Amino acid sequence: MDKRSYANTCRSEDGRTLIVLAKTTVELWDLLSRKKLDLPVPAKCKSVGHAAISVDRRWILLADLQPEKEPKAIGGGFDIAQGVLHLIVFDTRTGKTRALSEYEVGIVWIGFSSDGTTAVTSGGSITKLWDIETGKCVWSVPNYNAEEAHFTPDGKHLIAAPGGGQNTWHIWEVATGKASKVLKPPNLGYVWMFDVSPDGTKLILPTETDYVLWDMKSGAVKHRWPGAFQSGRGIFAPDGKSVITHNTTFQRWDVSTGKNLYANVATLGHTAPVRKIYFTPDGGRIVSVAGDFTARVWDVKSSQLLRTIPIASATIDVWCLSPDGEFILGIDEKLAVHRWSLSAESPRRTVELRDAQKLEIGLRARDASIGMDGSLTMIGWPRSADYRLSRFSFSKWDLGTGKLIRWGEDPGREYRGEEARLSPDGFWAAVRDGLFDTKHGSRRAMPASPIGAGGTPVFSPDGRLIASSGGGVRVWELATGRAVCDLPRGAGTSELAVFSHDGRRLVCMSADRLVVWDLQSGRPVVEWLIPEFQNPNVVWLTGGLAFSPDGKTLATGHHDGTILLRTVPGTKNDNPWTPADGQALWNDLADESPTTAYAAIWQLASQPTNAVALLNQKYPLVPSALPEEWTKLIARLDSPRFAEREAASKRISELGRAGYGHLKNALKDKLAPEQIRRIEALLAELEPTPSRPRGDDLRAVRAVAVLETCGTREARQLLAEWTERGSTPRLADEAAKAAARLKQRP
């Protein structure tokens, strides 16, 4: 078969024939030979939603969606055109088509008896039995919508599982439509599928918690087997002596004894959907978290499992990886913070966020970030959306003790925190229509996508870029609040997106494929068709994507517990720059347009040696001081002579960011009130203004981005010098943050 994306597939009752529906066409395949069948198929349809084929391959039954010719009035002056289903039977021997019904609504199931003489359809709150030769409805059951229905192998009974909102199973006599007198239906409520044993006496069906083997003669459960999660599948072996079950692993169970006949492979990998994936900062390991209550650590190079970490069964609302890649952290529904080491077989460490627990407002974590200083920033949202409780949305905690450092200020009535994402540094919280400072609660407007609102925004790893989606995806710069680029309609959603570490690539999941976009050109770099991605909430999960630090590998987590590593093509430097171009690129770094500025950032970073040399010339360093001079200067801040106090303050101010650590440490000692006042004033000077940077400050932000993207030894050295001796507070502050991030990477 080719790799096209199909609307639906279904197989015959004997499992040998596959019908492939591509919306308007039908294909038939033999599953044993994997060859397309040379049989006639129905002419082009409007939109096929459901189909079935008889075991002898004579009949194809399908439901074709066609719009009503006359819209129906729904009141208020509006008319609506509803789709109706034509129920069509096609004879592959003669190539003729006839309609069983031209008005069916909401069909969810179609199936044939094993001899192909009768068929069942269910939908629109009615289940019907059809005689295929005559085309007549033999009997029907109103007010009952079967999720799935199968005939017993002898064709004498029809078994129906309840659809959504219903709980009652039925077993009818095919000849009369009356309840069976010999077979008893299950009493287990709603399921997604079931299978009938070859002798027609037993059923295998997955519930929310396990697989159940039901004996229809005795009307009792014969066996229960673990691992269903309701989305599992089960099928009887042809001899009926065993059952194969599959959710994320295959298991084979003996029907008579209930014993598992296959070896347990749960120790080899995840046995439930993968929820989160992280690369460690060195790119050598992957950490994955899945619904099987385990986190697993993998070696990227060998794909070998290094460690399995059991996770408590309590609901974990939020996960995050420490900046140094040494531990993974989860916050549960009771606001207990759990830490698991990735490298050592050490016990779980837990601290309680008691100041949040004692509020008793049902606060639940929405996202969290671990700071370089070991603090924990958390976004929370209370059980009630009462405005007075929203002031507890942002908080910062001591990760070692669980003690509250501070609550963020009130974000105001515009903040809706049901869904929110936290920037990597913990300073910003993004929701669909706004960006909020987690310390001060102030709001920044987000530039709306030109084609509508969409998913929750996602931050780049350095926190400089944000992607938000509507019909397409807009990537914008946090510093200016302006768009870097717009990806086309259908590019995907920011709910399921992740940036590369240099911010130049963005991977998005759309309706049927995974696409890596280059943000400079606005074009796809590579894409992978994902046929199983028909339901993004099931097959793929938010956070089940991760770029390696070098951007060459993309890890994807799947519903069946699988993790795939995909190779991403590297960036080509098709437009190398010369020293003569340097001044123009330098000027572009200060451009108000992020599109121009980021083109310059990525072009400069493509030649790290030249970029470091250029930027080193542009920012002179402030003077430095010896440690003993700092001791004297801080002491003189409390001199009895005003002139000496002023001179000391002036000298410290001239030394710039280099004094930050000395001043912070000095505050830990016992100081005179005058010293404290002056030190706090000097520290305030070293903090960049909270307003959006402009002019030279804006260029400083982007110059640091160039060096962080380069990531070379020389680039890191220059960042360290700017951190200590940067000529402006903005340059020094940005350099310090970038240097801290790069410190975690090799």
Domain chopping of the chain, boundaries: 1-69+82-185, 198-264, 573-746
Phi, psi of 230 (to 5 degrees): 65, -30
Token pair in block for residue 725: 């001796």
What does the DSSP 8-state code read for residue 179?
A: B
Residue 385 pairs with which residues in a beta bridge?
none
Q: Output the DSSP codes for 85-115.
A: EEEEEEETTT--EEEEEEEE--EEEEEE-TT
What does the DSSP 8-state code read for residue 182?
A: S
Q: CA dist 80 to 86, 388, 666, Å?
A: 19, 42, 73
Contact 129, 158 (CB under 8 A): yes
Token pair in block for residue 124: 């629109």
Contact 74, 84 (CB under 8 A): no
Determine the Cα–Cα distance for residues 259 and 57; give it in Å rounded to an integer: 37
The residues, any chain, with a CB within 8 Å of residue 178's CB and separated by 6 or more, are 172
Determine the Cα–Cα distance for residues 376 and 424; give it in Å rounded to an integer: 11
pLDDT score for 397: 97
| Total Cβ atoms within 10 A of residue 88 | 20
Residue 169's Cβ-count burial label (10 Å; 0-12, 13-18, 19+) is buried
What does the DSSP 8-state code read for residue 260?
A: B
Q: Which letter, b or e, does each residue of 261-297 get, where b requires 16 or more Cβ atoms within 10 Å of its Cβ?
A: eeeeebeebbbbbbbbbbbbbebebbbbbbbbebbbb
Nearest-CA neighbor of 115 among 226, 12, 220, 19?
Answer: 12
Determine the Cα–Cα distance for residues 356 and 366; give it in Å rounded to an integer: 14
Determine the Cα–Cα distance for residues 507 and 515; give it in Å rounded to an integer: 6
Angle, alpha carbons 88-92-98 (nearest 5°): 25
pLDDT, averaged in runs of 10, over the chain (746 residues): 50 90 83 90 82 94 75 41 78 92 88 95 92 94 92 96 88 97 93 93 92 96 83 90 88 95 87 90 95 93 94 86 95 95 88 95 95 93 89 95 95 87 92 87 72 74 89 87 86 83 90 87 88 43 78 89 91 82 95 95 95 93 76 88 90 76 83 89 74 87 96 96 85 92 88
The residues, any chain, with a CB within 8 Å of residue 155's CB and separated by 6 or more, are 113, 114, 115, 117, 118, 174
Determine the Cα–Cα distance for residues 331 and 339; give it in Å rounded to an integer: 9
Number of helices (H) and strands (E), helices first, in the chain? 11, 51
Instruction: For the chain, state the CA radius of gyration.
Output: 32
Token pair in block for residue 203: 């059923």
Instruction: Answer left, alpha or beta for residue 293, where phi above 0 means left and psi between -120 and 50 means alpha.
Output: left
pLDDT score for 604: 96
Contact 454, 468 (CB under 8 A): yes
What does the DSSP 8-state code read for residue 207?
A: -
Determine the Cα–Cα distance for residues 597 and 584; give it in Å rounded to an integer: 11
Nearest-CA neighbor of 541 among 526, 524, 516, 563?
Answer: 563
pLDDT score for 559: 79
Give the chain's largest Cα–Cα span. Answer: 111
Q: Model's pTM, two decimal places?
A: 0.77
Determine the Cα–Cα distance for residues 240 and 196; give it in Å rounded to an integer: 9
Contact 288, 295 (CB under 8 A): yes
pLDDT score for 690: 60
Nearest-CA neighbor of 122 among 175, 63, 75?
Answer: 63
> In angstroms, how far is CA 639 from the centroid of its own chain?
59
Angle, alpha carbons 641-647-649 (nearest 5°): 105
For 149, the 3-state DSSP assignment is strand
What does the DSSP 8-state code read for residue 685?
A: H
Contact 173, 180 (CB under 8 A): yes
Determine the Cα–Cα distance for residues 445 and 280; give it in Å rounded to an integer: 33
* Fold of the domain spanning 1-69+82-185: Methylamine Dehydrogenase; Chain H (2.130.10)
- CATH class of domain segment(s) 198-264: mainly beta
The residues, any chain, with a CB within 8 Å of residue 689's CB and separated by 6 or more, are 730
